[in-house]
Amino acid sequence: MKIDVIRPGELGKAEIDAWREMQHATLRLGNPFLSPEFTVAMGEVCAEARVAVVSEQDGPVGFFPFERHPGGVGTALGAWVSLCQGVVHAPGAEFDAEALLRACGLHVWEFGCMVDGQKWFQPFEVLRQEAVVLDLADGYAAYLDGLRERSPKFLKSTLYKERKLGRDAGELTFDFAVRDEEQFRLLRSWKSAQYQRMGRPDRFGRAWVVELAERLHAIDTPDFAGPLSMLYCDGKPVAGHFGLRSDTILIGWFPAYDPEFAKYSPGLIQHLRMAEAAAAAGLRSMDLGIGTGSEYKDALRSRGEPVSEGCVRRRSAGAAAYWLRRTPVRRARQFILDSPALYGAADRAMKRYGNLRARLKTR
């Protein structure tokens, strides 16, 4: 087995074609965050982006996207925004985690949303959670029937608010793939304001995230696209979402709405319209990411898909030093996640902090 480490922009057509075939051969690897398009776009905004191309005599058998930082510290590619990570590989391929890291010049490699089935990394998992999936394989009507059985009050309330919004503010329309850059900027401004209200770091406060999103939004092919979806009332945008899609799955990434219409829950209406459009486009599922503490995700879900967090470590002094620095933080975080009371208290504290910052800025 041969391992070559290159920059994403150095991938050739033959390698990208092989990458795509691997995604088509194994359904769980079809996530757009595991696509060559996301990897190449990250390479254009991140100097630390690399790809390990794992080959045997007949050609590539795996692709491992990662970021290489000083001191031999590696992270998942675009870890701050990526919702799916791992090795894209040929069916039946086998890997040695320590040999892979050694070839990449890494002592450690951190992951936060590892796709299921990566058995070579499983010994290094420290936390397993579930991503929320909406099953659209049998069409939107079948999904809606299932939602009506699982969450009847939620669906009834959302449909009522949809009708009321239409009566109060004007006819509702929806566009699954908006190309307008001004509306894309509007969505980002809504999302930044939401991060501030919640006391969370603003993803769009980082120039590289904005550039990445714009590059992905510009792509629209059968295998990969960055669709911007918008919900309108009498022609005025009231909610939107920017995500990624492959030929089979739509990823929920950056949903947001105009706070002026908050009482109508336009974000929930947006999600139902988006699921309907995705099913009509032939997509088999929507993945909304990890659902911990999210009531709307719990209500919308058809099933869960396992994802894991952890840190792969070589038997080296550099890995040992890194482990000593990071382990107490990880244990504290997991302790909070495992306690609903503590998680709720932490979430409320973050929101109070966000509201306080917002009030201070207006003075």
**Could you list the mean pLDDT of each consecutive 10-residue stretch along the chain, which spans 363 residues?**
96 97 96 98 98 96 97 95 97 95 96 96 94 98 97 97 97 97 98 94 97 98 97 98 98 97 97 98 97 90 96 70 52 45 46 50 52
Whether the CB-CB separation of 76 and 66 falls below 8 Å is answered with yes
- At 314 the three-state DSSP class reads coil
The CATH class of the 138-283 domain is alpha beta
Question: CA 25 to CA 4: how far, in whole Å?
Answer: 23
pLDDT at 334: 46
Q: Which CATH number fits domain 2-129+307-354: 3.30.70, 3.40.30, 3.40.630, 3.40.50?
A: 3.40.630
pLDDT at 318: 54
Placement of tokens 């990969």 in the chain: 224
Q: Where in the sequence of the chain do the CATH 3.40.630 domains occur?
A: 2-129+307-354, 138-283
